[in-house]
Amino acid sequence: FSGYRAVQLRGVVSDLRAVCAHPGIDSGDSLDGNRIQLKHQDDLDEALGLSEKLECFDMLLQAEKSVNRRVAVFAHSSTVLSLLSECMRVRFGEGTYRTITSTTPSLDCRKAINSFNEDESHVSFIVMHPIACGLGMSLEKLDTVIFFDSDWSVTSDITALCRARKLGKADSLRLYRLYCEDTIEERLIALAEKTKGMEIALRQSHGRAYSRGAKVLDEILRAGVEQMFSEDAAGGKDPE
């Protein structure tokens, strides 16, 4: 494997991670990326029907809100953050959530946090990129943390979680990590837990280290393929 091959495989992995969130979005993280806009309840129902992960997320949010818990949701892509915010807007209303990205101005961050922390606030959810967590924040009312997707490196998620535990109710904080079974997401989590494979794969260098990264990415891409084709052959799932 060459360094160029590693770059190619990394792009494929990013695309597949985006598909796990929803097949209608791409992996682009620019402001002009392919974003899904949900205008009505019918649009939300259609979006949920295309993504079991998103449907599970929606059900989890409804359960948390039914018992008045305050929830922080982490995602690593601006397109995914936008999608989750759209789901909350249609399901619960415009004033029930706040969104903080890695580029949100500090004044807007402070306003969002204050709204989340108010005793009688209607803001039940705060959606953010993990690197935004802890930058002068004080999420005193935080009850639940949901990782909608996982970072290439487990370090980023662990750091965000540690900050969340300090910011919220550490003794009773609930943690959920969502991933799609038998997909690239499940394999990424397994590697992150057992090895430093993703740090090697994503290291921004060339030569032997990046070549090793290509091998890791190739192995990740192969994960779940055998399961997928065996289910198709057995008639368990219709080929798409």
- List pLDDT tens digits, range 174-231: 889 898 888 878 877 777 665 544 444 444 444 444 444 555 555 554 555 455 445 5
**pLDDT tens profile 138-180:** 788 889 989 898 776 666 777 777 776 666 665 678 889 898 8
**pLDDT tens profile 13-26:** 777 778 888 887 76
Question: Taking the complete model, does pTM exceed 0.95, yes or no?
Answer: no
Q: What is the DSSP letter of 69?
A: -
Enumerate long-range contacts of 80-83, CB under 8 Å, 24 or more apart: 80/18, 80/21, 80/25, 80/148, 80/149, 81/127, 81/128, 81/129, 82/35, 82/36, 83/21, 83/22, 83/25, 83/35, 83/36, 83/47, 83/54
How far is Cα 19 from Cα 54, in angstroms, rounded to an integer?
A: 11
User: Dihedral of the CA atoms 178, 179, 185, 190 (nearest 10)?
Assistant: 80
The phi, psi pair for 142, rounded to 5°, reads: -65, 130
| Residue 91, burial from CB neighbour count under 10 angstroms (0-12, 13-18, 19+) | middle
